Amino acid sequence: VTSAFNELCLLFKEKLSDWELHLIQKELIRVFGINLPKLARILPNVKYMFTGQTSSLYLDHETNQPDLNFRGICFAIQCFMRIVSSKSRPVMIFIDDLQWADNISLDLIHSVLSDVKKSSTVLFVGAYRSNEVQQDHAIYRFLDDLKSYGVKTSEMDLD
């Protein structure tokens, strides 16, 4: 799942203007500060969103802090998504074959979609094969949890 967020960095580098990238860089530096190398460990392609000296100043120096735990990873990706998505720059993420997703992957997606700050503008499209999951599959808990957090959901059956 983190690979989908990591790929976004390359897409931003390719599609955004230098000015838009500069604004995102400034906000990433402001929000993450000395922890920006930790984000780069989670999303290695974030380095492509930086240019020249800025990249080496902020991304090459690892701090001597312990590794991120799952909550730290979720929080870092939430913050990243708050920065890169907006009403003027909405982000759509599509992940296929969610029937194979483990609980941790679904929890990561849930944490981004149910972010209480609600400042990101993300459309998530997830596909799974209903004929390959049982009624007790984690995908159904995931959908119920999203609804209980007030996340707007729509389901479509494509038989």
- For residues 128 and 98, the answer to whether their CB atoms sit within 8 Å is yes
**Helix H or strand E segment including 94:** strand 91-95
Write the single-letter amino acid at 90: P
- Distance between CA atoms of residues 40 and 59, nearest Å: 7
Q: pTM to 2 decimals? A: 0.87
State the CB neighbour count (10 A cutoff) for residue 16. 16
- For residues 113 and 4, the answer to whether their CB atoms sit within 8 Å is no
| DSSP label at residue 116 | T
**Helix H or strand E segment including 125:** strand 122-126
- Distance between CA atoms of residues 107 and 78, nearest Å: 12
Residue with tokens 């992957």: 105
Q: In tens digits, what is the pLDDT along the chain, a chain of 159 residues?
A: 999 999 999 999 999 999 999 999 999 999 999 889 889 999 999 999 987 655 555 555 555 556 779 999 999 999 999 999 988 889 999 999 999 999 999 999 999 999 866 666 899 999 999 889 888 899 999 999 999 998 888 988 887
